[in-house]
Amino acid sequence: MSLTYWCLVDRTASRGPGGWPAMQAGLLGTAPQCIPFEQRLLVFRALVAEDKERGRWDKPPSEGGPAPLQFTIHRGSLLQDGWSALRNSGAVVKGRLVVSFVNEQGMLEAGLDYGGLVKEFLEQAISTGFNADYGLFSSTPDGLAYPQPAATTIPNGLGLLEFLGLVVGKALYEGILLDVPLSPFFVARLQGRRPMFDDLAALDSELYRSLVQLKRYDGDAADLCLDFSVEDDTFGARSIQTLVPGGSQVAVTNSNKLHYIHLAADWHLNGRLSASSAAFARGLAQVIPPSWLKLFNPQEVNQLLGGGENGLVDVTDMAAHTCYSGGYSKDHATIKLFWKVMTSLSDKERQAVMRFVTSCSRAPLGGFQHLNPPLTLHKVPCEASLLAAVGGKDVDRLPSASTCYNMLKLPNYRRASTLKEKLLYAVSSNAGFELS
C-alpha cells in the first residue's frame, strides 16, 4: 500500500471543522475507481457522521440537539400523510422522527417509537410509492426502478416523488436497508450527471438497438421514412413530440441521422424523464448531496441502498452483532440451537430468514454492525414436554417477526430439528406478527 493511499484511508476517521471527509469526497468524486469500494464506503459513512455531528442531529434536545419531528400517519393514506408531514421539513428530517400510526378503523395504534416505527414508515412508503400500480414508478425489464414520466399527470405526483426521494435519503442517512434497486440512468440523474446514449440500453433495449442499427445503416436513411419526432404514451394516451421545431416535417437523412439519434436518445433519457427525476432528486438532495453519491457507480449505489451484492449472510458476523431480549442471552440453550441451525442452512435459506426478519434479504455493507436497528432475538416462552430435548413433544408455536425492529420472536424450542422445521416453515409461508 502506498503512503498516499494509506493517508487517504487512515484519515477517514478524522472529522471536525476542517471537513476532511468532504475534501476526500471531492477528490474521490473525480476518480472514484482509484480507491477500493470498501474505502469509499468508509468515506461516505464519515461524511454522514460529520454531518450528524455538525447539525447535532443525533443528539437529544437536552444536549443541544433539535426537537424530534412528530407526525401521525393513517395507514390508509400513508403516502399522502407522509408527504404532508415532511414536505416542508427541510434538513430537520435528518434528526429524530417520531411516528404514530392510525389503523384502518381510525384508532391510534399503541406502541412507543424507538426507531422501529420509523423504519416501518420508510419501508411502507417505499413499498407503496414504488409499486407500479400507484403510477409514480416504473421498472426496466431487469426490475430496476425509475420514475414514471407520466407521474406529472397524477395529483401531487411531483410532490410525492420529492417525498419518496426524501424517504430514500433518510434511509441512506440512517443505514436502513431498502430493497429497491434503481436503474443506472436514474442513478446518474441523482448524482447530478446527464445520462448518455449507452444508458438507453437499460431503459429500452429495442429502441437502443434500432438507433445503433440506424447509425450503422449503409443505405439511404431517407428510405426509412423517419422524421424528427417521437411518439409518447401517457397511461394509454398517445401523442407526438417533436425533437426540433417542426420536427414532424423534417426527414431523417444520412447527413442528419447522427443528430436525430442523439436527440431521440436524449429525449427518452432526459427530456421525458426530466420533471419526475428532478422531483425525486430534490427530495434526496435534502439529506444526501449528489456529491456523496458520486463516490460510487450505479451498481454500488444499489449496494449502498440494499446491502451486499452477493447476498451472502455471514452467520459468525451475524451472531457477533445480535442483541437478545425477553430472557434470551448468547448462552441460552435455544440460542445455541438457533446459531447451529443458521450455520446448517443454505445461502438461499439464510437470505430468506434475513428477509423474514428485516424485510431485506441482504446483509448491510460492512457487516451486521451497520444494521439499524440491530438484529434482535426475542424470547417467546412456551411450554413443552419434559422430554422434548430427547424426542418428546416440543414447542408447536411458529416464530414471528417484527421487521420494523429487525426482531425475530423465537419460541424456546428444545430441539434443533424442531427449530429448523418451524423457522423454515414460517419463512416460506411468510408467517407474520404473532402468527402461530
Residues carrying an active site annotation: 404
What cell was used for 70?
Answer: 412528530
Number of neighbouring beta carbons within 10 Å of residue 349: 18
What string of DSSP letters covers 354-404? HHHHHS-SSPPTT-GGG-SSPPEEEEE-----TTGGGTS----PPPEEEGG
Contacts of 32 (CB under 8 A, 6+ apart): 40, 294, 295, 296, 297
Give the CA-trace dihedral at 305, 425, 116, 55, to 10 degrees: -20
Residues 296 and 193: beta-carbon distance below 8 Å? no
Residues 271 and 262: beta-carbon distance below 8 Å? no
Contacts of 292 (CB under 8 A, 6+ apart): 25, 44, 47
**Dist. CA 189–CA 208, nearest whole Å:** 19
Residue found under cell 471531492: 26
Number of neighbouring beta carbons within 10 Å of residue 369: 11
Contacts of 244 (CB under 8 A, 6+ apart): 228, 250, 263
Strands (E) in 68-109, as ranges, are 69-74, 97-102
**Dist. CA 162–CA 164, nearest whole Å:** 5
DSSP label at residue 108: B
Burial class (CB in 10 A: 0-12, 13-18, 19+), 123: buried
**Dist. CA 43–CA 286, nearest whole Å:** 19
Classified as helix, coil or strand, 4 is helix
